[in-house]
Amino acid sequence: MEHKDNSHKAWAGDKKPSMKRRCEENNYTERGLYMVTLAIEGRQPFLGQLKGLTDINEGPDSPHVVLSPFGERVKACWLAIQQHYPQIEPMKLCIMPDHIHGILFVHEKIERHLGHVINGFKAGTRKAARQLGIITEAMPQLTEQQQQPTTAPVTYAEALPRPNKDKHPTHGLIWEPNYNDRILLRKGQLQRWMAYLDDNPRRLLLKRQHPEYFTQLSPIPILDTMMPAMGNRFLLERPLKLQVQCSRHLYQNEIEERKQYFLRAGAEGAVIVSPCISPGEQQIATACMQAGIPLIVLLLKGFPPYFKPQPRYLEACAEGRLLMLAPYPYQNEKLTNMRARCLHLNELAALLCQR
């Protein structure tokens, strides 16, 4: 039985899963380094167009985004953050057609919460959107001709319904309400962030080239349970499936021995099945994927909105060598029953191998 912690507000009921909730233990006015993600309302591609080829790493034909006039203004607003807050350094920015990722380094304590800085950035970009004619209903003083600019084939007001003013606002005007942040906590994390942002255009191109493997499938009946899935569902029909389960107490030489076993089995046609939670399971799964061996992964916390596979899974998914299954609905809260869930996922993996 899963325990749900409602102690945050006894009268509020269960927390709704959200990737935009702040870390309660973190002081967002103190020195820190953050990766911030903001998405366009309705995921409209107002910021630019994706170009390039996935198999080219450098030069004009490598994956990249050609910014729209609004995308250029968004870039300028992001870089201008330091003019308003000298303590904050915008270290890197990745603009995708419908969202942005940016890394901010707060060098010294700031007077207001980081969210206040992000709100100021949003306000500046909304002003630019009005000037470019993207938000037309927000400018009733303009003439009808001015409200239909030829430079914007689809305006924000046309693409999205206008929120009911009598209700609590659910639309963010250009941007989705709120934002997602990740906090730098570990050595090597910044380098991984940088690599993630640099590789973002290529990953999106891969998804667009192989939509059949990157679209969440209708729930699949597995072991008397309907499981949401993404990837190549036909891996379930392979005759030989082997479970990878490694205790966290294994020594590295023991993990290496198991890795070699699964690599040999995979070369002979086996499909690897695992939740990929412990370090040993992750090492073996990564080695198998790099060797071209198919993998079925049981997700720990389900599929979040706009889910896309982790970078280490991306190539395998695009090539039809990966299936992800979600026995549990999505949640981003810290698990209070981690051991019980891991044991259950490994039980499911074992049963899958017996199908």
Q: At what angle do helices 279-290 and 311-318 cross, to 10 degrees?
A: 40
Q: How confident is the model at residue 171 (pLDDT cuts 50, 70, 90)?
A: low
Looking at residue 16, its pLDDT comes to 53
CATH topology for 32-209?
Alpha-Beta Plaits (3.30.70)
Our CA dihedral for 247, 251, 257, 258, rounded to 10 degrees, sits at 10
Q: What are phi and psi of 217, to 5 degrees?
A: -80, 160
83: which DSSP letter? H
Which is more confident, 220 or 22? 220
Q: Is the pTM of this model over 0.85?
A: no
What is the per-residue pLDDT across 230-254, written as a single tens digit (0 to 9) for each? Answer: 999 999 999 899 999 999 999 999 9
Distance CA 84, CA 118 (A): 12
Q: Where in the chain is the domain with CATH 3.40.50.450?
A: 211-353
What is the per-residue pLDDT across 123-163, written as a single tens digit (0 to 9) for each? Answer: 999 999 999 998 874 433 333 333 333 333 333 333 333 44
**Domain 211-353, CATH:** 3.40.50.450
Looking at residue 294, its pLDDT comes to 95
What is the per-residue pLDDT across 48-105, written as a single tens digit (0 to 9) for each? Answer: 999 999 888 889 999 999 999 999 999 999 999 999 999 999 999 999 999 999 999 9
| Paired sense of beta strands 64-67 and 48-51, if any | antiparallel
Q: How confident is the model at residue 312 (pLDDT cuts 50, 70, 90)?
A: confident
Average of per-residue pLDDT across 161-177: 58
Q: How confident is the model at residue 14 (pLDDT cuts 50, 70, 90)?
A: low
Q: Where in the chain is the domain with CATH 3.30.70.1290?
A: 32-209
